[in-house]
Amino acid sequence: MKLSVARTATRDAPGRLGPLWTFLFRYGPPRWTEYVLRNWSGQRLVIGVPYLWLLLFFLVPFLIVLKISFAEFSPLGRPPYEPVFRWLEEGAVQVKLLIGSYVYLLNEPLYVSSWLYSIKVAFFSTIFCLMLGYPMAYAIARSSPTYRNVFLMLIILPFWTSFLLRVYAWIGLLKNDGVINNMLMAVGVIDEPIAMMNTSFAVYIGIVYSYLPFMILPLYSNLEKHDLTLLEAASDLGAGPVKAFMRITLPQSMPGIVAGSLLVFIPAVGEYVIPSLLGSSDQLMIARLLSDEFFLNRDWPKASAVAIAMLLLLVVPIMIFQRFQNKELEAQKR
Amino acid sequence: MQTAERRADKNKAKAEPWRDPHAEGYVRIENITKKFGDFIAVNNVSLKIYQGEIFCLLGGSGCGKSTLLRMLAGFESPTSGAIYLDGQDMADVPPYERPINMMFQSYALFPHMTVEKNIAFGLEQEKGLSKTEIASRVTDILEIVKLGQFAARRPHQLSGGQRQRVALARALVKRPKLLLLDEPLGALDKKLREATQFELINIQEQLGVTFIVVTHDQEEAMTLASRIGVMNRGEIVQIGTPTEIYEFPMTKFVADFIGSVNMFEGQLIEDLPDRARIRSDELGGVVYIDHGISSAPGAMVWTAIRPEKINILRTPPQDTSENCVKGVVKEIAYMGDLSIYLVKIDSGKMVRVTLPNVERLSDDERILWDETVWLTWHASSPVVVTQ
């Protein structure tokens, strides 16, 4: 007890900011290496590396994008922009945040509708992936160990080919004189080719095909750990196979379902390549608008605003959801 | 009233239905065989188990006892043979429709449900049970297993003993015709196990459910069972009450598996209805038995003598010609309630003797290492087995 009191007393600043305070002001940049070597254990260093990585390559760029989103459109179409903070002569700070880009996003129906369309495509793609992926993951998890690795290999195998190539291959399959239409016409099922290219259908096909492994793998790793005697117990207590699945397997695989769904949903919202190659130009997804704003209109602030809005709108619900999920897991932990 | 009833039940149990050749078995297992590929897990087993019994299947690992239990539960289907419960053929009844419940060795409690939900699960699967009825039956069974205040906990928040009771409650709340218990006390420590054994018997008597218990632990089988079926290599080698199994093992395997035993190979030299004599080189003497063996004279047999049925004398008895052998004490293990002596007899074989520590003995009264002693036993003690 005494010891901890003494330690608190020697700190420069109270609470959790103490070490940061020491780091920033008592040592200062020239002696940071010295501080790290003196105070950090090996464990902290190991954890520190990914933190540093995220700081440099995620947080800093994010802050730059955030700053640009509040800037004024420059006719040059590229930086430099006016700084956000400006020191005035009277010793005051001028903060200049233009929210014009964000207002524009809200008022422009094109943005709102492609935002909703992106969410819709991502949502249903996730549902389709789940419906396809769950039985597959289940089958792999219950297959004999000899075949299990082969099946897993087959799931991962497509990753050995370039993502772009695989999406291009779908054009060859889906277009009017593509493989599918030619075959159906040769067999005589249809007389005229079905228009599949440049439709939402093609976008769904592309996304579900590309992201299915991201659904299957976390589901598999969850399902594979299930204790099968629980199913025997459920059966013994009078639950038929369907009931046992609904009451035992499904609730216990929730963490896998959530992980897989997030891994599909998040990248699908921001998907650029698949809708550009397979989708129609009438209905654009949000990532396409972002790139058009950036490369065609050369309006960096608006493009940045789109990026920030996309991030916030995705991150906030996901964080809430994960917090809830963590609590559930905490309660379930053995 | 209740005690009178229970006494009546106990008297009924004393009637021992298995002694009556015309009694119908409540559970009838007829010529059951189970093969996994070439491996025969259960080999032509036939059994009759009577209502209200606690029947123990006892055997080492891989003897087929768990396979037999799983066939009763319906998780495995027999390669051939039939199982009848209360007159009904179980062959085409899936596990979820059998009036049989099982307590799993790992308990198999649902980790994502509370104790209450775990127990209610089985009742929710039954048609025509109202919510209030389910709730009241759950409360009642929680009372019986003394877990009332833990209803809202999840399995991982319970101790091993509490989990075991939840598993028992979950199986019993369905009021099964037959309850199967797979190593019910295996995961508990020794003290808790002893307490739980008697609790289990009490609950069984209270509810009158027929129990079939699978265990490898002979002590567990002895305290729980009304009858024990000893299994070896997929076959039932002997069925009997705990006393019968212990005192009158029919084969070398049973004698050896249940408790510890001293086994001497020998030749039958006299076999009359009221007495028999066996000469054993392994013993270095003659064993006199006060009952007949009804085997061919000259046959090779094994004489089994339990360690606690042998006396140690420090001076030679008057008649050393029969049921007596001289030896030297090589090891003494003091266990508190009893002591184990390993005596090397003149033929070179080690003989195990246990004596209760009735009195506190001073150093010169006590049997010591390397002391020459005489081992004797009563003519009724040895058991002779021919296979």
The answer, for B84 touching chain A at a CB cutoff of 8 Å, is no
- ipTM strictly over 0.85? no
Could you tell me what percent of chain A has a pLDDT over 90?
A: 46
In this complex, do A252 and B73 lie within 8 Å of one another by their Cβ atoms?
no
CA distance A65 to A96: 15
Which chain B residue has its CA at the smallest distance from A243's CA?
A: B125
At residue A240, does pLDDT exceed 50?
A: yes
CA distance A215 to A160: 18
- Predicted pLDDT of residue B242: 93
Across the A:B interface, residue pairs with CB atoms under 8 Å apart total: 66
pLDDT tens-digit map of B169-190 = 999 999 999 999 999 887 778 8
Which residue carries 């305070």 as its tokens? A21
Give the CA dihedral B68, B70, B73, B79, nearest 10 degrees.
-70
DSSP B240: E
Nearby residues of B331 by Cβ (< 8 Å), 6 or more positions away:
B340, B341, B342, B369
Instruction: Tell me how close the Cα of B123 comes to any Cα of chain A, in angstroms.
Output: 8
Choose from B69, B105, B112 for mutation: most chain A CBs within 10 A.
B112
In this complex, do B106 and A333 lie within 8 Å of one another by their Cβ atoms?
no
Which residue carries 């130009």 as its tokens? A281
At residue B220, does pLDDT exceed 60?
A: yes
pTM of the model: 0.79
Instruction: Tell me how close the Cα of B108 comes to any Cα of chain A, in angstroms.
Output: 5
> Which run of H or of E encompasses B161?
helix B160-172
Tell me the chain A residues in contact with residue B175 when contact means C-beta distances shorter than 8 Å. Answer: none
Give the nearest partner residue to A237 out of B74, B111, B174, using CB atoms.
Answer: B174
Cα dihedral sign for A28, A29, A30, A31? positive
Which residue has better confidence, B294 or B25? B25
* Structure tokens given for A185: 């016409």
Give the nearest partner residue to A237 out of B74, B101, B156, using CB atoms.
Answer: B101
Where helices occur in chain A by DSSP H, the ranges are 2-10, 18-21, 32-39, 42-54, 60-69, 100-107, 109-142, 145-156, 163-174, 179-187, 200-223, 229-236, 241-244, 250-252, 254-269, 273-278, 286-291, 300-332
At residue B240, does pLDDT exceed 50?
A: yes
Mean pLDDT of B186-213: 85
Mean pLDDT of B301-327: 89
In this complex, do B110 and A233 lie within 8 Å of one another by their Cβ atoms?
yes
Provide the CATH topology of domain B22-252.
Rossmann fold (3.40.50)
Mean pLDDT of A60-77: 85
Total residue count of chain B as it appears in this document: 387
Which CATH entry fits the domain spanning A108-298: 3.40.50.620, 1.10.3720.10, 3.40.50.300, 3.10.20.30? Answer: 1.10.3720.10
DSSP codes, B92-146: T--GGGSSEEEE-TT----TTS-HHHHHHHHHHTSTT--HHHHHHHHHHHHHHTT
CA distance A106 to A116: 12
Tell me the chain B residues in contact with residue A227 when contact means C-beta distances shorter than 8 Å. Answer: 106, 108
The answer, for B102 touching chain A at a CB cutoff of 8 Å, is yes
Tell me the chain B residues in contact with residue A235 when contact means C-beta distances shorter than 8 Å. Answer: 74-75, 94-96
Which residue carries 């149990």 as its tokens? B13
Choose from A222, A237, A243, A247 for mutation: most chain B CBs within 10 A.
A237
In degrees, rounded to 5, the angle at the alpha carbon of residue A88 between the alpha carbons of residues A84 and A90 is 150
Backbone angles phi, psi at B312, to 5 degrees: -110, 125
At residue B1, does pLDDT exceed 80?
A: no
Cα dihedral sign for B56, B60, B63, B69? positive
At residue A308, does pLDDT exceed 60?
A: yes
- Predicted pLDDT of residue B264: 92
CA distance B259 to A48: 61
- Predicted pLDDT of residue A11: 44
Total residue count of chain A as it appears in this document: 334
- Predicted pLDDT of residue B166: 95
* Structure tokens given for B280: 């054993």
Instruction: Tell me how close the Cα of A72 comes to any Cα of chain B, in angstroms.
Output: 54
- Predicted pLDDT of residue A6: 41
Instruction: Tell me how close the Cα of A113 comes to any Cα of chain B, in angstroms.
Output: 41
In this complex, do B75 and A230 lie within 8 Å of one another by their Cβ atoms?
no
- Whole-angstrom CA distances from B226 to A282, B48, B103, B171 are 81, 13, 19, 21
In this complex, do A239 and B106 lie within 8 Å of one another by their Cβ atoms?
no
3-state secondary structure of B213: strand
Mean pLDDT of A177-199: 90
Strand order in the sheet with B54-58: B100-103, B178-182, B210-215, B54-58, B227-232, B235-240
Tell me the chain B residues in contact with residue A230 when contact means C-beta distances shorter than 8 Å. Answer: 108, 110
Q: Confidence band (pLDDT; 50, 70, 90) for A48?
A: confident
Query: Which amino acid is located at B39 in the chain?
Result: F
Can you give the C-alpha Rg of chain A in angstroms? 27
A95 DSSP β-pair partners: A85
* Structure tokens given for A219: 């589901």
DSSP B337: S
The ranges assigned to domains in chain A are 2-95, 108-298
How many whole angstroms from its chain centre is CA B215?
A: 7
* Structure tokens given for A22: 């020491």
Which residue carries 């000893």 as its tokens? B230
Instruction: Please state which of the ranges A194-203, A305-314, B238-247 shows the lowest mean pLDDT.
Output: A305-314
The ranges assigned to domains in chain B are 22-252, 260-385
pLDDT tens-digit map of A132-177 = 999 999 999 999 999 999 999 999 998 899 999 999 999 999 999 8
In this complex, do A237 and B122 lie within 8 Å of one another by their Cβ atoms?
yes
Provide the CATH topology of domain B260-385.
OB fold (Dihydrolipoamide Acetyltransferase, E2P) (2.40.50)
CA distance A273 to A331: 40
